[in-house]
Amino acid sequence: HFLYDQLNPHADIPGDHAQLDACSPFQGKVCVFNSAVVTYFAPSDQSGIKGMHRKIICVRPSWHGGPPWYDCMYVVKGGVEGDGFQSLMVARV
């Protein structure tokens, strides 16, 4: 349904209501990244180097052969509408 919305941005029916047979088949490659490094400036928190912070956000199906580790989530920005991830923020749990 996500791909339907990306390929048909002006469709009368949004992707989450479209029938699967109306969606285009996907024949490409999908890459999955289980972690991301985030560097940001927080002027109110001087515990980093003059407010600079660096965090690793991870989603791991297995951590050293153990249970999965999911410590991030998507948060919908209140009152913000946008395409794709424009209305979302990534948060670490």
pLDDT tens column, 5-63: 888 888 888 888 888 887 777 788 877 778 788 888 888 776 666 788 888 877 788 77
Using pLDDT thresholds of 50, 70 and 90, give the confidence band for residue 70: confident
Q: Which amino acid is at 52?
A: M
75, 91 Cβ separation under 8 angstroms: yes
Q: Which amino acid is at 49?
A: I
